[in-house]
Amino acid sequence: MSKRLYVGNLPASATESTLSSKFSEHGKVSGVRLITDHGTGRSLGYAFVEMATAAEAKRVIEELHGERYDGRELNVRTADAFGVDDADAMFRARAYAARSFTYRFARACRHGAYILLRRTLP
């Protein structure tokens, strides 16, 4: 039975092939999915790696969690620890949060500019 792992805090230089080679040093990798921004194609800093067995997944977590990778400490956990077993669901949740923040920020900026303009005009 394969086990899906969440890998966070990835550098922008990480690719699916480099992640696959890094994790295959510690066990058999069934699949890798690097989550990218649909608009720009840039990495969002996390991926899902599927290991062949649960024992290999546990060993990978013990060996790679906290290890430095291109200057950043990896965060390796089981994907179900976050209550998410689907990469698309996690991406949609993060994308919604980003859109929501952008909307609120833009609205606050417009409101702030309006108040500033009212104060400067006679």
Per-residue model confidence as pLDDT tens digits over 26-78: 999 999 999 888 778 888 899 999 999 999 999 999 999 999 999 999 999 98
Of 56, 94, 93, the C-alpha closest to 78 is 56
Same domain, 80 and 91: no
Sheet strands (E) in 9-109: 29-36, 43-51, 68-69, 72-73, 75-78
Asked if residue 99 has pLDDT above 90, the reply is: no
pLDDT at 36: 86
Question: Mean of the pLDDT values across residues 65-94?
Answer: 75
d(CA 14, CA 99): 25
Same domain, 58 and 94: no
Provide the domain limits for residue 44.
1-84
Amino acid at 118: R
pTM: 0.66
Same domain, 57 and 104: no
Same domain, 70 and 91: no
- Averaged pLDDT of the chain: 78
